[in-house]
Amino acid sequence: MNNREVFNCLMLAKNVVHFVEKAYAEKNIDLFRQNIKEALFYLRHLEEKLEKIMNMPEEELFRNT
């Protein structure tokens, strides 16, 4: 697994946290829903990337590139 993949996962996770925190602080229900929708968008992408990593062969996963 390379550093770019790790960085991408971290940035996706950071975006999820950002939009969940925005939603939590939001009093307007429509903006709350929009922030949750954004968080789910990033969470789905993170899930896809993590599934790809989990399905990598061990040699590729621990290769230091």
What is the extent of the structural domain holding 47?
3-61
Cα angle 61, 8, 58; round to 5: 5
Per the CB < 8 A criterion, the answer to whether 23 and 32 are in contact is: yes
Residue 35 reports pLDDT greater than 70: yes
Range of lowest pLDDT (10-14, 50-54, 58-62): 58-62
pTM of the model: 0.79
Per-residue model confidence (pLDDT) at position 15: 96
| More confident site: 53 or 63 | 53
Provide the number of structural domains found in the chain. Answer: 1
Cα–Cα distance for residue pair 13/27, rounded to 1 Å: 24
For residue range 9-32, what is the model confidence (pLDDT) as tens digits?
A: 999 999 999 999 999 999 999 999
Please, which pLDDT band fits residue 61 given cuts at 50, 70 and 90? confident
